[in-house]
Amino acid sequence: MADLEELYREIILDHYRSPRNRGELDSPPAHRVEGFNPLCGDEVVISILVEGDKLADLKIAGSGCSISQSSASLMSSAVKGKSLDEVHRLIHTFKGMMSIHEAQLGQDGEAVEPEEVNLDELGELAALQGVVKFPVRIKCATLSWNALAQGLDEVAGQAG
């Protein structure tokens, strides 16, 4: 069961059992974005509040497996209060870690070359790297990140 323990690290189980930043923000002023995994029915609802060039607040709702929910929770802890530049860089790095496998599968057009990924930047999020050994679960791990990226794009579009 070594692979399983690598997938389900204690920190992942902790975030799954006690998810951080749960709930929804009033929208408006917050922006609400949904992500779905049509294969398994997992869903995530992210409320983001952008103030200036900062992701001032975010909350996560929805339901799904331990990987999708812990990834969303870990993400919320990592990006809350950060500048938008930092958030975008973190999204890029996280998706890079996940796309090491996706690139091999040829599933993700914007795959990042593995050498570009600096896992040190990811802190606790690096706990999710065990997921790449389970290709089917990568979409669970990236669900909330794709939704966040989409939400930030939509907010930027509105502002522009």
Interface ranges with another protein (CB under 8 A): 1, 3-4, 7-8, 13, 16, 39-43, 63-67, 134, 137, 140
Smaller CB separation from another protein, 41 or 81: 41
Q: How far is the CB of 107 from another protein (least distance, A)?
A: 18
Q: Output 31 or 137, the one with its CB closest to another protein.
A: 137
Closer to another protein by Cβ: residue 45 or 90: 45
Residue partners of 46: CB distance under 8 A and separation at least 6: 32, 33, 34, 35, 58, 59, 60, 61, 72, 144, 147, 148, 151
User: 50 - beta bridge partners?
Assistant: 55
Per-state percent for the chain, helix, strand, coil, to nearest 5: 60, 20, 25
- Least Å distance, CB 101 to another protein, is 16
CB of 128 to another protein, least distance (A): 14
Phi, psi of 79 (to 5 degrees): -100, -15
**5/53 with CB nearer another protein:** 5
